[in-house]
Structure 1
Amino acid sequence: MSARPHALVIALTGGVAAGKTAVARRFEALGVHVHDADVAAREVIEPGTAGLAAVVDAFGSGVLDGTGRLDRAAMRRRVFADPAARKTLEAIIHPLVRQWLHRRALAERGPYCLLAIPLLAENIEHYRWVDRVLLVDAPESLQLARLTLRDGIDEALARRMLAHQASRTERLALADDVIENSGDESALDHAVAELHRRYLNLASHRSA
């Protein structure tokens, strides 16, 4: 992935339930393209793709639901209970997601775009081509509360999900910009507007 995108590329990241989606929606409302690794992860294992074939080869046809798609809920329970299964699944999906994101960044012709990458800190060596990292940050206690409410899961599973991610300290060490999201969601409006102006300015200097 040596080709450099024309647009300024901002990697948007944060721990689970930190508020990345709320931030991404606000950038999209300003006309900024946001390319989401979670969307990529679904597309690269759609029925008929090489990605899904590789998952079935690794785990067997029992991972499929009645429509021939990956049974995501069952797979999530399996990989959080079995570290070896998680590594196997990630080894299949992560390279495909990186290629998907890189292709979309290369196709951008606006001043800048965002790549929403939840597991950026865990895979930063593969994303050296991005220009900046924007972190949406929240205390772990708030992440747990949001996650149990959002996904309808118990606290034990929520804690395991957080434990599988990079630490808050590791994410902060990577960040060029930080949006602190522990208060009311409406406070994000001002933070995103400020960053939008900053990124447009950086993009204009880049293309000058």
Structure 2
Amino acid sequence: MPVVHRLGLTGGIGSGKSSVARLLEARGAEVIDADAISRACTAAGGSAMRAIAETFGPDFVDADGALHRGNMRQHVFTHPDAKAQLEGILHPLIAAQIRLQAGNSNAPCLVFDVPLLVESPRWRPQLDHVVVVDCTQETQVRRVQNRNGWDLATITRVMQQQSTRSQRLAAADIVLFNDGNEMEHLRSLVSDLAGQFGL
């Protein structure tokens, strides 16, 4: 049996984590995207929607039957217990789908793209290495403003929900410093990383 490397990939909002995941996938890694799984669970007809409607009520289901993300985002920011309730619904569903995807993969390297990898202690024992995509907070804010059009207050609230930059760096086995706007530089960093794991 060939060795399968299990990498955890994380980074704060606007760090470039998704770009790194796409580049690794292009090199032959299998990317298991926790955010994509979460979105599928909360789409119309998704496996989480019945429990979300029963727990939070109709204001949190949009006209199509999917999660009303704007209402939920605001609710979670103002009601800390709601975040735990939502995670209690989503996390078991996401974990089951991740196990299924990992078990069905034949790739030489599995990349677990997990935004809250540092915050959740259950992840580290399942991984060979933790890869953190890093940049300054100023760069994070600029990128998210350009990409999402959010105001500074919204970006700051999201960043405060995530682990701090120092916490991510402390958890890292490998750091990709992605502070510029040069895609070629990031591609070079990922190429070096991929080479370490047979990609």
TM-score for both structures, normalised by structure 2: 0.91
Shift of 1:119: 0.7
User: Could you tell me which amino acid in structure 2 is paired with residue 192 of structure 1?
Assistant: V
**1:77-96, CA deviations, whole angstroms, 9 ceiling, x for partnerless residues?**
22123222122111211222
Unmatched 5+ stretches in structure 1:
1-5, 202-208
**1:60-139 equivalent positions in 2, closer than 5 A:** 60-139=57-136
Aligned-CA RMSD value:
1.7
Report SS of the residue matched to 1:124. coil
Report SS of the residue matched to 2:125. coil
**1:140-179 equivalent positions in 2, closer than 5 A:** 140-179=137-176
Q: Does 1:36 align with 2:33?
A: yes
Shift of 1:166: 0.6
TM-score for both structures, normalised by structure 1: 0.88
What is the CA–CA distance in structure 1 between the aligned matches of 2:64 and 2:137, rounded to whole Å?
A: 37
Report SS of the residue matched to 2:130. strand
What is the CA–CA distance in structure 2 between the aligned matches of 1:47 and 1:66, rounded to whole Å?
A: 9
Number of residues of Structure 1 aligned to a counterpart in Structure 2: 196
What is the CA–CA distance in structure 1 between the aligned matches of 2:190 and 2:121, rounded to whole Å?
A: 23
**1:74-119, CA deviations, whole angstroms, 9 ceiling, x for partnerless residues?**
2222212322212211121122212221221122212112111011
**1:167-186, CA deviations, whole angstroms, 9 ceiling, x for partnerless residues?**
11111111111100001222
Report SS of the residue matched to 2:150. coil
Shift of 1:48: 3.6
What is the CA–CA distance in structure 2 between the aligned matches of 1:64 and 1:132, rounded to whole Å?
A: 38
Gap change, CA 1:151 and 1:9, over 3 Å in 2:
same
Q: Kindly indicate whether the alpha-carbon contact (under 8 Å) linking 1:9 and 1:105 is maintained by their aligned counterparts in 2.
A: no
Report SS of the residue matched to 1:150. helix
Q: Does 1:196 align with 2:194?
A: yes
Runs of 4+ in 1 over 3 A off after TM superposition: 46-50
Shift of 1:42: 1.3
Report SS of the residue matched to 1:10. strand
